[in-house]
């Protein structure tokens, strides 16, 4: 019986889209700063947390599965 704990978040899907997620987060930050710089710290906080990654992954990866790049 293994005594190691499983990771709370799967790593493989995130590795596949690591750069794409960084690009999306950078675009979000840029748009927020251009629109309302006062909320930028809140967006930075959200982008720097590990949650809320499933939807971006689901929207980024399908084109690759269908042969688009």
Helices 40-48 and 18-35 sit at what angle, rounded to 10 degrees? 170
- The C-alpha atoms of residue 64 and residue 6 are separated, in whole angstroms, by 28
Question: How buried is residue 9: exposed, middle or buried, by Cβ count under 10 Å (0-12/13-18/19+)?
Answer: exposed
User: Residue 7: phi, psi to the nearest 5?
Assistant: -65, 145
Q: Kindly indicate the confidence band of residue 8, based on its pLDDT and cuts at 50, 70 and 90.
A: low
Q: What is the pLDDT of residue 12?
A: 64
- Vertex 17 angle, CA 66 and 27, to 5°: 105
> What does the pLDDT look like over 11-65, one tens digit per residue?
666 777 788 888 888 888 899 889 998 988 888 888 777 666 677 777 777 766 6
Q: What is the pLDDT of residue 34?
A: 92
């Amino acid at each position: 019986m293994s005594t190691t704990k499983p990771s709370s978040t799967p790593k493989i899907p995130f590795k596949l889209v690591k750069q794409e997620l960084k690009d999306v987060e950078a675009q979000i930050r840029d748009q927020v700063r251009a629109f309302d710089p006062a909320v930028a710290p809140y967006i930075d906080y959200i982008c720097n947390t590990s949650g809320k990654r499933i939807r971006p992954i689901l929207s980024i990866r399908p084109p690759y599965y269908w042969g688009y790049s």
